[in-house]
């Protein structure tokens, strides 16, 4: 395989890993965002146990995505992680508190203990989603890179309006995705409540999405360029929108699983939109687009990319099959038992 082809394949594979993360951890982050809307200890335990067996495995997609970035595009990994220093440190604290909340909450029965962890779980889920969105927004909008591809801006410049808007949209997207997962996994009153959350989250997300799209077209013209030159690519946002529109329809008909699949596919298409808009950039430099990190100037050697591709070709089918197995074993509505959180 040619070096050029290998790099494009790894750009796509990195995209697939990050999309896997957004689809999978997206719903459990979203469940966290909605956690405080559930009333009473039992309902909150049901929410936690809906994601209980899978959240940890979902987060591995972030580990794998980060690892693949380190390995396939070390320049991007080094520039992004050192450039977004405090953003990523805060994201880490968000994820640490989230893990602690999920794991610790059920270990003591006192209500002050559980309420504190409920608040911590919800706040850290929202913070993590927001910061992931902010990081993504910065990569899309562009960050100032110097000729050595090092970030030369400041911490506060990372929270400019466009990335912040992307952060809020990410919270909305994950909350919508999470609410549909809750609809899928619950019954009775909680199920009825979740249908209401689902509707509100969908409206919230669509509002954010419209504003974000306008902002992108106005302020981030490089993202729209590939669509101008290849108009057939407009099929991707169009299909994504159809999946979003399909969600309330499926919920209305009580087909909760189809609604969830629609939501997953909507995220896949949104990620595809970002991947195509950015291509071949990985981190856009703004100002100074000539300093941008692209998949061509930041990749590892052909030898490394080849070995990794062999590993991925063996490993990813295995991962997908036993991940599916775990989801199958824990299918159906949540029932609390002595081993639950």
Q: Answer whether 291's CB lies under 8 Å from 149's CB.
A: yes
Q: Enumerate residues 228-257 that contact other proteins by CB under 8 A.
A: none
30 counts as binding other proteins under rule CB under 8 A? no
Q: Closer to other proteins at the Cβ: 27 or 84?
A: 84
Kindly give the interhelix angle for 256-278 and 111-141, rounded to the nearest 10 degrees.
40
Name which position in 18, 50, 68, 271 contacts other proteins (CB under 8 A): 68
The one segment of 221-229, 250-258, 270-278, 306-314 that binds other proteins by CB under 8 A: 306-314
Query: What is the smallest separation between the CB atom of 93 and other proteins, expressed in angstroms?
Result: 6
Q: Answer whether 128's CB lies under 8 Å from 91's CB.
A: yes
Pick from 319, 275, 255: nearest CA to 136: 275
Q: Enumerate residues 119-158 that contact other proteins by CB under 8 A.
A: 148, 150-152, 155
82 counts as binding other proteins under rule CB under 8 A? yes
Q: Closer to other proteins at the Cβ: 64 or 236?
A: 64
Q: Enumerate residues 153-212 that contact other proteins by CB under 8 A.
A: 155
CA-CA distance, 171 to 29, in Å (whole number)?
9
Name which position in 8, 104, 164, 227 contacts other proteins (CB under 8 A): 104
Q: Closer to other proteins at the Cβ: 155 or 252?
A: 155
Name which position in 96, 147, 203, 210 contacts other proteins (CB under 8 A): 96
Query: What is the smallest separation between the CB atom of 25 and other proteins, expressed in angstroms?
Result: 11
Helix (H, G, I), strand (E, B) or coil at 337: coil
Which strand (E) or helix (H) includes residue 218? helix 188-219
Q: Which sign does the torsion angle of CA 36, 42, 48, 51 carry?
A: negative
Count of residues touching other proteins (by CB under 8 A): 77
Strands of 194-287, DSSP E: 281-283
Cis (ω within 30 of 0) for the bond into 158? no
326 counts as binding other proteins under rule CB under 8 A? yes
**15 Cβ neighbours under 8 A, 6+ residues apart:** 271, 272, 275
Name which position in 15, 26, 32, 52 contacts other proteins (CB under 8 A): 52
Q: Enumerate residues 32-51 that contact other proteins by CB under 8 A.
A: 41
Which strand (E) or helix (H) includes residue 294? strand 293-294
304 counts as binding other proteins under rule CB under 8 A? yes
CA-CA distance, 270 to 215, in Å (whole number)?
16
The one segment of 167-175, 250-258, 260-268, 312-320 that binds other proteins by CB under 8 A: 312-320
116 counts as binding other proteins under rule CB under 8 A? no
Name which position in 86, 207, 210, 242 contacts other proteins (CB under 8 A): 86
Q: Answer whether 145's CB lies under 8 Å from 291's CB.
A: yes
């Amino acid at each position: 395989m040619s070096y050029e082809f290998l790099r494009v394949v790894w750009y796509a594979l990195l995209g697939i890993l990050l999309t896997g993360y957004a689809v999978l951890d997206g719903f459990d982050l979203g469940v966290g965002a909605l956690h405080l809307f559930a009333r009473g200890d039992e309902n909150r335990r049901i929410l936690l146990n809906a994601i209980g067996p899978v959240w940890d495995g979902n987060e591995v997609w972030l580990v794998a995505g980060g690892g693949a970035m380190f390995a396939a595009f070390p320049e991007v990994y080094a520039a992004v992680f050192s450039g977004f220093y405090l953003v990523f440190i805060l994201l880490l604290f968000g994820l640490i508190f989230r893990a602690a909340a999920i794991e610790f909450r059920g270990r003591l029965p006192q209500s002050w203990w559980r309420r504190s962890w409920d608040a911590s779980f919800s706040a850290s889920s929202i913070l993590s989603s927001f910061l992931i969105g902010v990081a993504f927004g910065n990569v899309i909008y562009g960050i100032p890179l110097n000729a050595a591809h090092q970030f030369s801006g400041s911490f506060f410049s990372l929270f400019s309006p466009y990335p912040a808007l992307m952060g809020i949209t990410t919270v909305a997207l994950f909350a919508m995705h999470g609410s549909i997962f809750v609809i899928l996994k619950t019954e009775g009153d909680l199920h009825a409540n979740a249908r209401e959350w689902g509707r509100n989250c969908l409206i919230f997300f669509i509002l954010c999405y419209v504003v974000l799209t306008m902002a992108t077209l106005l302020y981030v013209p490089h993202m729209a360029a590939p669509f101008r030159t290849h108009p057939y690519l407009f099929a991707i946002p169009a299909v994504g929108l159809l999946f979003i529109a399909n969600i309330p329809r499926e919920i209305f008909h009580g087909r909760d699983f189809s609604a969830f699949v629609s939501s997953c596919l909507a995220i896949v298409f949104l990620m595809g939109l970002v991947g195509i808009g950015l291509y071949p950039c990985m981190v856009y430099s703004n100002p100074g687009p000539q300093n941008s990190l692209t998949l061509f100037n930041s990749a590892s050697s052909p030898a490394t990319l080849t070995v990794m591709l062999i590993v991925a070709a063996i490993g990813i089918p295995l991962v997908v099959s036993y991940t599916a197995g775990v989801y199958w074993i824990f299918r159906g509505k949540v029932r609390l038992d002595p081993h639950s959180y």
